[in-house]
Amino acid sequence: MKIICIGRNYTEHIHELANERPTDPVVFMKPDSAILLKNFPFVIPTFSDDIHYEVEVLVKINKLGKHIETQFAHKYYNEIGLGIDFTARDIQAKCKEKGLPWEKAKAFDGSAVIGEFYPKSSFQDVNNIDFLMSKNGTIVQKGNSGEMLWKIDELISYVSQFFTLKIGDIIFTGTPAGVGKVSTGDELIGMINGKEAFKIGVK
């Protein structure tokens, strides 16, 4: 399986990091070794002093597909979840300055939290999903899938132009505003449509 991630998909997040608004979805990948094992804490890596959380709606692909038209994209997933794209912001900044790829900042071991998935049928509208994340009991990120620049079905269509989508692949759909640094001892809890999708500690 592969993890396909979308960057800069929420306007306010683009503004908070002073990035340019893209004309096409920003796409990057994480290897399967980036997945944080269930019931394990996130361990801050020694190579970064500025690890940020980014909570995101996740989509799990359930059907092989290539060059999928947007109008048919809804047939290629039946589960929606929530996760975290951990980012070494200091390393990412250096990579961006030099025009280099982001993998060291985005794809390191443990950088992908994949929480619980719920049936798509349990959501009235995939373009109106509320989600949030709290850190130590305080809500730090809050969003709705309707705020995405490119909606879920559009993302599936877009990425399938470049990568064959396979059963079990996961798409991280981008993060809203409110990203921030994690520290040892933090507790992160993610909620989607009022249901807890993950709870992790930071070491």
**42-99: pLDDT as tens digits:** 999 999 999 999 999 999 999 999 999 999 999 999 999 999 999 999 999 999 899 9
The CATH code belonging to domain 3-201 is: 3.90.850.10
Domain map of the chain by residue range? Answer: 3-201
Lateral strand order in the sheet of 3-7: 26-30, 3-7, 170-172, 55-61, 77-85, 112-119
Tokens read off for 185:
């001892």
Q: Kindly report the CA angle at 110 between 173 and 78, in degrees rounded to 5?
A: 35
| pTM summary value | 0.94
Give residue 154's identity as a one-letter amino acid code: E
pLDDT value for 11: 74
pLDDT confidence tier of residue 23, bands split at 50, 70 and 90:
confident
